[in-house]
Structure 1
Amino acid sequence: MHYNVSVSDPQSHLLLITYTIPEINDDYIEIQLPSWRPGRYEIQNFAKNIQFIEAISADQQKLSIHKVTKDRWRVGTAGEKEVQIRYAYYAISQNAGTSYVDEELWYLNFINFCMYTEGRISEPYTIHLELPEGYQIACGLPSTGNVLSAKDFYQLVDSPLLASQSLQKCEYVVRGVQFKIWMHGNLRPNWRRIERDFRRFSREQIATMGEFPETDYHFLNLILPTAFYHGVEHHNSTMIVLGPDDEGEGLYADLLGVSSHELFHAWNIIRIRPKEMLPYDFTKENYFRTCFVAEGCTTYYGDVFLKRAGVFTDETYIKELQVYMKRHFENSAHATQSLADSSFDLWLDGYEKGIPNRKVSVYHKGALVALILDLFLRKKSNHAQSLDDVMRLLWVRFGKPFVGYTLEDYISSVEEVAGETLEWYWNDCIFTSEPLEFRLNEALAFVGLQMSTFSNGNIQLNVLDDFKAKLQRDKWLATVQVLSLEEEEE
Structure 2
Amino acid sequence: MPAPKNTHAAVHYRVEAADLHAHLFHVTLTLARPEALQELSLPVWIPGSYLVREFAKNLQQLRARQGRRALPIQQRDKQRWQVACDSTEPLVVEYAVYANDASVRTASLNATRGFFNATSLCLRSEGQADQPCTLDIVAPENIATSAQWHCVTGLFGLETDAQGFGLYRAADYDELVDCPVEMGAFWSARFHAGGVPHRIVVAGAAPSFDGQRLVADTRKICEATIAFWHGKGKPPFKSYLFLLNAVHDGYGGLEHRNSTALICARADLPRTSAPHTGEGYSTLLGLISHEYFHTWNVKRLRPSEFRHYDYTQENYTELLWFFEGFTSYYDDLLLRRAGLIDDATYLKLLTKTSHQVLQAPGRQVQTVAQASFDAWVKYYRPDENTPNATISYYTKGALVALCLDLTLRREGATTLDDVMRALWQRCAGGPMAESDLRAVLQQLAGRAFDAELDAWVHSTAELPLAELLAAHGIALQAEVPQPAQRLGLRVAENSAVQIKAVLRGGLAERAGMAAGDEWLGIEVQGQGWRIAKLADIALYAGAEKQVTALVARDARLLRLPLQLEPAAAPRRGGKTPVPAADTVSLGVADRALATRWLAGAASV
**Length-normalised TM-score, structure 1:** 0.91
Tell me, in whole angstroms, the C-alpha distance in 1 between the residues paired with 2:350 and 2:38. 52
1:241 aligns with 2:280: no
Tell me, in whole angstroms, the C-alpha distance in 2 between the residues paired with 1:334 and 1:289. 16
Tell me, in whole angstroms, the C-alpha distance in 2 between the residues paired with 1:169 and 1:427. 47
Match of 1:184 in 2: 203
Deviation at 1:425, TM superposition (A): 1.0
Tell me, in whole angstroms, the C-alpha distance in 1 between the residues paired with 2:132 and 2:588. 58
Query: Structure 2 regions of 5+ residues with no counterpart?
Result: 1-10, 141-145, 161-165, 271-277, 489-581
Match of 1:127 in 2: 135
* C-alpha distance after superposition, 1:199-231 (max 9, x if no partner): 212111111111411121111000112x21100
Of Structure 1 and Structure 2, the greater helix share is in 1
Q: Check the 8 A contact 1:229/1:254 in 2, yes or no.
A: no
Match of 1:6 in 2: 16
Q: Secondary structure at the match of 2:475?
A: strand
Match of 2:441 in 1: 414
Match of 2:58 in 1: 49
Deviation at 1:399, TM superposition (A): 4.2
Deviation at 1:142, TM superposition (A): 1.4
Q: Secondary structure at the match of 2:192?
A: strand
1:477 aligns with 2:590: no
232-241 vs 137-146, which moves further: 137-146
**Counterpart code for 2:334:** F
1:159-198 map, 5 Å: 159-164=179-184, 166-188=185-207, 189-198=209-218
Alignment CA distance shift 1:175-1:464 (3 Å): closer
* C-alpha distance after superposition, 1:267-326 (max 9, x if no partner): 000110111111111111111111111100000000000000101111111111111111
Match of 1:216 in 2: 239
Match of 2:172 in 1: 152
1:386-397 map, 5 Å: 386-397=415-426
Q: Check the 8 A contact 2:197/2:240 in 1, yes or no.
A: yes
Q: Secondary structure at the match of 1:352?
A: coil
Q: Secondary structure at the match of 1:258?
A: helix
Q: Secondary structure at the match of 1:286?
A: coil
Deviation at 1:104, TM superposition (A): 2.5
* C-alpha distance after superposition, 1:439-467 (max 9, x if no partner): 111211112223344562752223153xx
Match of 1:63 in 2: 71
Match of 2:347 in 1: 318
Tell me, in whole angstroms, the C-alpha distance in 2 between the residues paired with 1:224 and 1:51. 29
Tell me, in whole angstroms, the C-alpha distance in 2 between the residues paired with 1:340 and 1:311. 32
Q: Secondary structure at the match of 1:345?
A: helix
Tell me, in whole angstroms, the C-alpha distance in 2 between the residues paired with 1:96 and 1:52. 25
1:232 aligns with 2:261: no
Match of 2:544 in 1: none
2:453 aligns with one of 397, 407, 426: 426
Match of 2:336 in 1: 307
Q: Check the 8 A contact 1:267/1:399 in 2, yes or no.
A: no
**Counterpart code for 1:174:** A
Q: Secondary structure at the match of 1:11?
A: coil
Tell me, in whole angstroms, the C-alpha distance in 2 between the residues paired with 1:320 and 1:46. 35
Deviation at 1:352, TM superposition (A): 2.6
Over the aligned positions, Cα root-mean-square deviation in angstroms equals 1.9
Q: Percent of pairs identical after alignment?
A: 32
Aligned residues: 468
1:461 aligns with 2:469: no
1:231-380 map, 5 Å: 231-245=253-267, 247=269, 249-332=278-361, 334-354=363-383, 355-356=385-386, 357-380=388-411
1:77 aligns with 2:104: no
Match of 1:487 in 2: none
**Counterpart code for 1:33:** L
Q: Secondary structure at the match of 2:240?
A: strand
1:447 aligns with one of 472, 475, 486: 472
**Counterpart code for 1:4:** R
Q: Which has the larger radius of gyration?
A: 2
452-461 vs 409-418, which moves further: 452-461
Q: Secondary structure at the match of 1:205?
A: helix
Deviation at 1:247, TM superposition (A): 4.1
1:37 aligns with one of 46, 61, 71: 46
Alignment CA distance shift 1:239-1:93 (3 Å): same
Deviation at 1:337, TM superposition (A): 1.3
- Which structure has the higher relative contact order (CA within 8 Å, separation 6+)? 1
Tell me, in whole angstroms, the C-alpha distance in 2 between the residues paired with 1:405 and 1:301. 19
Tell me, in whole angstroms, the C-alpha distance in 1 between the residues paired with 2:225 and 2:136. 35
